[in-house]
Structure formats: C-alpha cells, structure tokens
Amino acid sequence: MTEMREGLAAVKTEMKEDLSRIEGKVDSLSGDIEEHKNKTATELSMTVTTVHSELERNVLTNVTKELKKTADYILEEVPTSFVCGGTRAWRRVVY
C-alpha cells in the first residue's frame, strides 16, 4: 500500500513538472504571437499610409492634368470677345 502511494506521489510530481513545462511553453508562444501581431499591425499601418499617400499623389496629379487640359481648351479654343484693330482675336497661351 505504501509503495502504491509513493508511486502515485511520484506520478503526481511528474505530472506537475510536465504541466509546469507546458505552461512555460504556452507563455512563450503567447509572447511570440503577441510580438508577431504587433509587428504585423505596424507593417499593415505603414502599408496603408504608403498606399494612401500614393493614391493622394496620383489623384492630385490627375486633377492637375485635367485642370491644365481644361485651361488649355478654354484659352486656345474659346474665342475671346475683345477687338484688336477691328478684328476678332484668339487668345493663345504658351506654357
């Protein structure tokens, strides 16, 4: 009977040690997961910022091009109604 108790106590001690090792590994993995999550969030934030800046730059470039086209059309194609020496003149701007 004593041998059985000693055997059970040894098994119980061994199980506690195993559980302690497992808990340590779980804590380590939890830390790794948290670190990876933070790194991924930072990288994603940087990517979003980069994409936003690129889109903003592209939109501004495209709007500027369209405004220039519109201004060129107005200045070159739409006749102005001022008289110059008795003739109708077209305004032309060279950039």
Token pair 């910022």 is found at 49
Residue ranges per domain, the chain? 2-66
Q: What is the pLDDT along the chain (95 residues), one digit of tens a residue?
A: 788 888 888 999 999 999 999 999 999 999 999 999 999 999 999 999 999 999 999 999 999 999 999 888 877 776 655 444 444 455 544 44
Q: What is the pLDDT of residue 81?
A: 52
**CA distance linking residue 94 with residue 83, whole number of Å:** 21
- Distance from C-alpha of 68 to C-alpha of 56, rounded to nearest angstrom: 18
- Which pLDDT value is given to residue 79? 61
